[in-house]
Structures are given as structure tokens and as C-alpha cells.
Structure 1
Amino acid sequence: MRCSIRGKAGTFVIEASGDFDGTSSTGDWWVVPGSGTKQLEGISGNGSFEAAKGPMATYTLDYEVS
């Protein structure tokens, strides 16, 4: 992911695992350790996602940049 978080710019990799039951998808994701670059070097974290059929989804990411 290429992004800026609270004024810190860089990239990091997210790995995800989830399920789809025919009507909605849910799952968890996490920052791959050691994948942060530039000002996001040392980032760690995890989160979740949930999406019912349709255009809306909810994403969360709890993170820390050391």
C-alpha cells in the first residue's frame, strides 16, 4: 500500500485472509513485518474488513509506527 498516515509517507504490504458466504465477505488483515519503507519503516498493525453485497464496506486498521 502506498499512503500517507498522519503526515508520514511510505509504503507497506498488507496480507489478508477472509471468507465469503454468498452474501457478505469478512476477514482480517495485517501489516507484513519488515515491509514498511521511508517514513513508515517499522510500521506494524492489524485490522479487519466487512462488506455486504453492494458498494459499501467497512475497513479498520490499528497500527503503530516505531
Structure 2
Amino acid sequence: MKDSIYLLLTALVCAGIAWAFWYFLGETATQAFAGATLLVTIGENLRLRRKVKALQARLLERD
């Protein structure tokens, strides 16, 4: 029973956040999604570049 209440409360909070997002951003919401996607993609690219550099360095050390 306790889990059901927490689940319902979480759903209500998420619904409220979603309503506020669309209510306040309106037509610019798609631009916000595009901007967030761009920032996440740039961050992921930087993270992967660092990882590739580290893997290349380890590979060169083994040779």
C-alpha cells in the first residue's frame, strides 16, 4: 500500500512538472528540447574523446 502511494505521488509530481514545462515554454519547448539535446550530445562527445585517448595511450604503452 505504501509503495502505491509513493508511485501515485511521483506520477502527480511528474505530471505537474510536465504541465509547467509546456505551459511556460509553449511554442519554444521544441527549441528547449533541441538545445538540451545539443548540450547532451556535446558532453557525450567530449566524454568519449577522453575515453578514446585513454584507450589509445594504454594500447601504445602495451606495444
Give the alignment's TM-score, normalised by structure 2: 0.18
Q: With CA pairs under 8 Å and 6+ residues apart, which has the higher RCO, 1 or 2?
A: 1
Indicate the structure (1 or 2) with the bigger Cα radius of gyration.
2
Bigger helix share: 2
TM (norm. structure 1) is 0.18
